[in-house]
Amino acid sequence: MKQKKLKIVKMEKNMRDMNHSKKDKEYLHNHGETPEEKEIEMWKKKLIWGWILTIPIILIMYILPLIFGMMVFSSEVMLLISLTFAFPVIFIVGLSTLKSGFRGFISFYFNMDSLIALGTVVAYLTGFLQFFLPVQDYSGVAAMIMAIFVTGKYIEAKARGRAGQEIRKLLEMGAKNARILRGKTEIEIPISEVKVGDIMIIKPGEKIPTDGIVTKGESSVDESMVTGESLPIDKLKGSNVIGATINQDGILYVKATKVGKDTFLAHIIDLVEEAQGSKIPIQKMADKITNIFVPSVLALSILTFIGWSIFGNFSSAFGASIAVLVISCPCALGLATPIALTVGSGMGAKRGILIRKGEAIQTMKNVKVIVFDKTGTITKGKPEVTNVEMGKGVKEKEFLEVAGSLEKLSEHPLSKAIVNYANLKNYKVVKNFKNLRGRGIEGTVLNKKYLIGNKRLMDENKINLKDFSKKIEDLEKEGKTVMALALEKDKKVLGLIAVADSVKEDSFKALKELHKRGYYTVMITGDNERTAEAIAKEVGIKKVIANVLPEGKSLEIKRIQDKNGGTFVAFVGDGINDAPALKQANVGIAMGTGTDIAIESGDIVLTKGSLTGVVQAIELSKATFSKIKQNLFWAFAYNTIAIPLAVAGVLHPVIAEIAMAASSITVVGNANLLRRKKI
C-alpha cells in the first residue's frame, strides 16, 4: 500500500514537472513571436501585393502611352483594367485602412486613415460613375495612393523597432543544455528539462544554465551581459548566480533555484514588454489637424455640390465636388513627416546616430532631464590601471616585472589590466602560484614569495599597510580598486596598484554641453555610492542614484517622470538591465557598443558609443521636428489655396491632382534643406 502511494506521489511530481516544462516552452514561444514582428510581416505582404496589382495600372495608363505616343487600348478597356486591378488594392490590401478611416465617421474622431479612406474610395468610384456621367476617371490614381500609403506603413512599422526579435535572440543566448548530477552521475539534458533543486556543474568558459546558488566551488562570473557592470563577480559557496552569465576560471556546482519564466532574465524581458506597452504615444500634430480638416472638406464638398446644382448644372456640380475631395487627398500630408524623418535619419546615420522611432523626434524637444547609466555609457566598461605608487627604495621597473609576472597567470580582468599596463617583453618564472578567491594571488619569483591583492589578504598575512593607508583611502574615495604588492617574508609592502573603469575621453565635454543647453543630468548605477560619486564628480553629473538593482532603474525613471506633474526624461544606457529603463523613458538613447536588447529598446541608437552623440542627437531631433512642422504647413497651404478654386469650379480634378503633386514636391524639397543644417 505504501509503495503504491509512493508511486502515485512520483507520478504527480512527474506530471507537475512536465506541465512546468510545457509552460516554459509556451513562454519561450510566446516571447519569440511578438506583435511588432507580426505587424511588420502584415504590412510587408500588403506592400508586395499592393504594388504587384498597381504596377500594371501605371504601365498601361502612363508608361505605354508615353512610349507609343498614344493609348494602346480603348478608353473602355483601360477603364475596365483600372477598375479590376484597383479593386483588390483598395478593398483587400487597404481593408484595414478603410475600416480605421471610416470608423472616424462613426466616432467623429478622424485620423490619417480617414483621409486616405475617403480619398481612395471616392477616386475609385469615379471609374464607375464614368459609365453614367461625364466625370474624370481616378480609379487608377486611387490604387497608387493606397500602394504608396501601405509602403509608408511598412516602413513605419519596421522603424518602430524589433524589440520582439531581440527578446527572442536574448532567450537564445542562454545555455541550450545543462550538465547536472543525478546521484553521482553527470548527465547532460536540455535546458527545458532542468528542475528546481537540480545540481548543475558549470566548467570554465561555460554559460550558467539558469538562476541558482553555489553549493560547491569558487570562480568569478562575468555578469556584464545582464548587469552591464564590467568586472566579473567572485562567487563562493552560498553566492547567487544568474542564468546565461559566463563562468570564468573555476568549476562551480550550482543548485537551480529558478527555471523558465521565473528566472531573472525572463523577469527583465517582462519589464521591457510592460514598459513598451505602457508608453503613451505622442498625439501627432497631423492627426489633430485632420480631425477638423476631414469633416470640413466633406461638408464643403457637399455644399459645393448643392451650390452648383442650384446655380449651375449637375455635371459641373459633380466635377467641382469631386475636385474638392481630390485636392484634400493627403499625399503631401502623408509625406510631410516621413520624408523629413528620412532625411534626418540619413544625416544622423553619417554621424553614428540612428533614429529608430519617429516619436523620439517630437518628444525630444520636451525633455528636461537626461539620465545616464554609468558602466559602458559614461565609462569605458573595462578596467585600466590608473595609479602606481611605490614604497621607498622600490624601482618601478622591478615592481611591474614582479606584479606583471604574477598577474599573467590569472584570468581575472583586474589581472589583465595590470598585465596590459606592465607591458613586459619577458616574464619572470613564477612558482607555487595560487589564486586566492576574493583576496588576490600569491606566488614565488626568484625564490621570494610575493602577495598581491586587497586589504583583506594583507591583514590575513599580518602585513602592515600603515605607510600607505592615506593613499589607499584617497584612491578608494575616487572609486578605484586598490591592490598592494608585498614580500611575504619581510611583511613589507612594495607598492600599490589602483585599477578603475576609466571615464570615456569625451564624457566631460558632452555633459558640459548638455548643462550649457539647460538640461539636468542624473546618473543611475548599481555600483556603490563612493564609486558613483567619484565618477559623477569627474564628469560634472548633477545627481547620483547609486546601489540600484537591475530591475529598479525603470522605477527610478518613473519617479523622475512623476515629479512636478510630469517631467520628460531621456535615458542613456547600454546593458540588458538598461532595457526596461530605455523603454520607460520618454526618449531612450542606447549606446551602439552595448547589448542587442538595449540597442533594440532604444528610440535613438549611438553607434559610436560616444556621449557627444547625445548632444548631436538632441540637435538633430529639434532640427528634424522643425522641418516636420514646416512640411505640414506646406502640405495644407496648397489645400488652402486650391480648395477655394475647386469650390469656384475653376480647378479641374486633373489640375487638383497636379496641385497635390506640386505640394508633395515642395515638401520633399523643403525636407532636403535639412541637410544644410550643421549638427
187 burial via Cβ count (<10 Å: 0-12, 13-18, 19+): exposed
First to last CA, the chain: 82
Report the SS3 class of residue 254: strand
- Other beta carbons within 10 angstroms of residue 582's beta carbon come to 34
Distance, CA of 394 to CA of 410 (rounded, Å): 24
Angle between helices 507-516 and 612-647 (to 10 degrees): 40
Find the catalytic residue in 24, 198, 211, 373.
Answer: 373
Distance, CA of 144 to CA of 110 (rounded, Å): 22
Helix (H) or strand (E) holding 572: strand 568-573
By DSSP bridging, strand 246-247 and strand 185-190 are unpaired
Q: Buried b vs exposed e over 439-449: b needs ≥16 C-beta within 10 Å?
A: bbbbbbbeeeb
DSSP 361-411: HHHGGGEEEEEEESTTTTEEEEEEEEEEEE-TT--HHHHHHHHHHHHTT--
Give yes or no: 373 in active site: yes
Place of cell 606583471: 404
Annotated catalytic residues are 373
